[in-house]
Amino acid sequence: MVDIKPDVLSLLIAINDVHAFINKKNDATSLTNFEQQYRKLLTSCLAQNKEMLFVLGLPFCVPTGSRKNEFDQWHTPTIERAEIVQSIAKDFNDV
């Protein structure tokens, strides 16, 4: 096992959660659980390196290809998760 302790960690999380939500999969996570798990992940990373900088990408979807006809279905849950990521970024003083 490699012991890696990065100074910067870039994350782009949530669009797979939107996919699970739209397809009503059993493993789809609620917005509350999504936020709790995201915060838990970042807190765990900070325990390894207190100076770690997080670059949190906002989830997005583009109305092209197979999503063109389903964009309305994808847009709102994607924005909801993006707002959570923005809130988390503020709380963790991240980019």
Residue-wise pLDDT for 40-94, tens only, equals 999 999 998 999 999 999 999 999 988 889 899 999 999 999 999 999 999 998 7
- Identify the bridge partners of residue 9 per DSSP, sorted by sequence position: 54
Give the pLDDT of residue 94.
75
> Number of H helices and number of E strands within the chain?
3, 2
Task: List the structure tokens of 28.
Answer: 């789809």
- Cα atoms found within 13 Å of the Cα of residue 94, Cβ hemisphere only: 25
Produce one character per residue of 35-46: b if its CB has 16 or more CB atoms within 10 Å, e if not.
Answer: beebeeebeebe
Whether residue 54 contacts residue 11, with contact meaning beta carbons closer than 8 Å, is answered with yes
Specify the pLDDT at position 6: 86
Residue 4 above 90 pLDDT? no
pLDDT at residue 5, as a whole number:
77
Supply the pTM of this predicted model. Answer: 0.88
